[in-house]
Structure 1
Amino acid sequence: MYDPRPVLLVIAHGSRDPRHAATVHALTRRVRSLRPGVRVETGFLEFNAPAVPQVLDRLAAEGVRDVVALPLLLNRAFHAKSDIPAVLRQARPRLRIRQAEVLGPAPLLLTALERRLYEAGLSPSHKRSTGLVLASAGSTDPEAIAVIAEIARELRHTGWCAVRPAFASAALPRTDDVVRELRSTGVDRVAVAPYVIAPGRLPDRIEAGARAAGADVLAAVLGPSAELARVLLTRYDESRAALPLAMTA
């Protein structure tokens, strides 16, 4: 029987680090638990299986008509603008696909980020005496860098005494440099918050920089958090609402 609800295809980058795929699958399980009526599939751009084209081929063979393809990305950069659209174009006209917006920025992501900091040992009362490093993967895309800088400014207005962006690759400054910079301002403590979804090479680089520079607190990655799962479903709902009536009836 035809299901009018589009399939939610979560598209992750993929990694040689097995923790990456494990985290992605844990997140999609959480999404399914929050919305059991929606079919959720996972595809990877590289390194992990199934690859996105394989998932799309299978969905088309099953007679699926409509798909919301959701990039598992916090920022709109090269993968969201180029790689993913190119892969999705290969599936048309067999499937009707709408690419959802990336996950960030979103207030729930900042809620998840701060919760990871509290889980790592901070408390809300520490915010006014703590310098925070917002550490992201990095990008060569100026738009993506600007978004991270804007998120840092937003966090600063929530009570942290200082917030600085840092990048694990492709852009400067690096995490260790920002930790040292904040330390030089005389803050009581310096915390590093990885603004990344899953473990892997770049998050490991963030961790190494934080430890080398003597950060007092290092939060975990966002991971399969409830907040992140809710953002996924919000992006799905936004894309589904924008589909033509014939696709959402």
Structure 2
Amino acid sequence: MNRPVLLVIAHGSRDPLHAATVHALVRRAAGLRAGLRVETAFLDFNVPSVPAVLERLAAEGVREVIALPLLLTRAFHAKADIPAVLREAPASLRIRQADVLGPSPLLVAAVERRLYEAGLAPADKGSTGVVLAAAGSTDPEAIAVIAEMARELRRTGWCSVRPAFASASLPRTEDAVRALRADGVRRVAVAPYVIAPGRLPDRIAEGAAGADVLAAVLGPSPELARLLLERYDGAARAEERVAAA
């Protein structure tokens, strides 16, 4: 039995580094699973679009697709935009939407990897406060997930972790940096909780001007690549349970 195609759906950005980073991540995930066909599509700004990829897959005779939102929280894009575009897919395709990526211990590990790559070490945790800087959302569920991720990161030993947002929500990155300074934290690091470069990650970087350390976006980290496959497998198992019922 052929496995469903994995279709990774990213938001897209005018920043050319965004699409390049998404493609690098998808290639890394595909390299971990021999024989799995993996496709990439974008909701906006970049090509190929989701409808274009779905039309091509249908024309090739593909029957099953698992659509994976390349999103860290289940906000508007996961709840509305992606389901809407999938509903317009060719009737011959059977599509299941996988869960978004967050929350997950693998994301905590990816954030720490980027902090260490930025110059910190495990021994620095006790004297370092971290601003976990997300894109932002008006969705309470998404905000709650970011808060949960901040708590999980704090449990790994950092002296303090504060969530912050580049848009739609408060506090902003610079406000969280100032709050940690006011608390007497010796060293402040900003960890962008975003997948790829773009306008909002640029805002996070601007807000990190008062920090000691600015980590890179999550990008094609090995933890994120593994997480893509975890979400794919979860959706595939759910489909198998439905078929067996």
Question: Using the alignment, how far apart are the partners of 2:148 and 2:103 within structure 1?
Answer: 9
Q: How does 1:51-200 map to 2 (within 5 A)?
A: 51-200=49-198
1:24 pairs, out of 19, 22, 25, with: 22
Match of 1:243 in 2: 239
Match of 1:221 in 2: 217
Cα distance per residue 1:146-168 (max 9 Å; x no partner): 11111111211211111100000
Match of 1:231 in 2: 227
Cα distance per residue 1:79-125 (max 9 Å; x no partner): 00000000001115220000000011110111010010011011111
C-alpha displacement at 1:16, in angstroms?
Answer: 0.5
Cα distance per residue 1:165-199 (max 9 Å; x no partner): 00000000000011011011111100000000001
Structure 2: segments with no counterpart, 5+ residues: none
Structure 1: segments with no counterpart, 5+ residues: none
What is the aligned-residue identity percentage? 75
Match of 1:10 in 2: 8
Cα distance per residue 1:22-55 (max 9 Å; x no partner): 0000011111111121000001001000000000
Q: Is contact 2:55–2:90 with CA below 8 Å preserved after alignment? A: no
Where 1:21 maps in the other structure, the secondary structure is: helix
Q: Is contact 1:66–1:247 with CA below 8 Å preserved after alignment? A: no
Question: Using the alignment, how far apart are the partners of 1:117 and 1:164 within structure 2?
Answer: 15
Q: Is contact 1:4–1:247 with CA below 8 Å preserved after alignment? A: no
Q: Is contact 1:183–1:190 with CA below 8 Å preserved after alignment? A: yes
Question: Using the alignment, how far apart are the partners of 2:242 and 2:147 within structure 1?
Answer: 40
Cα distance per residue 1:224-243 (max 9 Å; x no partner): 01110000000001111111
Where 1:118 maps in the other structure, the secondary structure is: helix
Question: Using the alignment, how far apart are the partners of 1:245 and 1:121 within structure 2?
Answer: 46
Counting matched residue pairs gives: 244
Where 1:38 maps in the other structure, the secondary structure is: coil
> Could you tell me which amino acid in structure 1 is paired with residue 223 of structure 2?
E
Q: Is contact 1:17–1:200 with CA below 8 Å preserved after alignment? A: yes
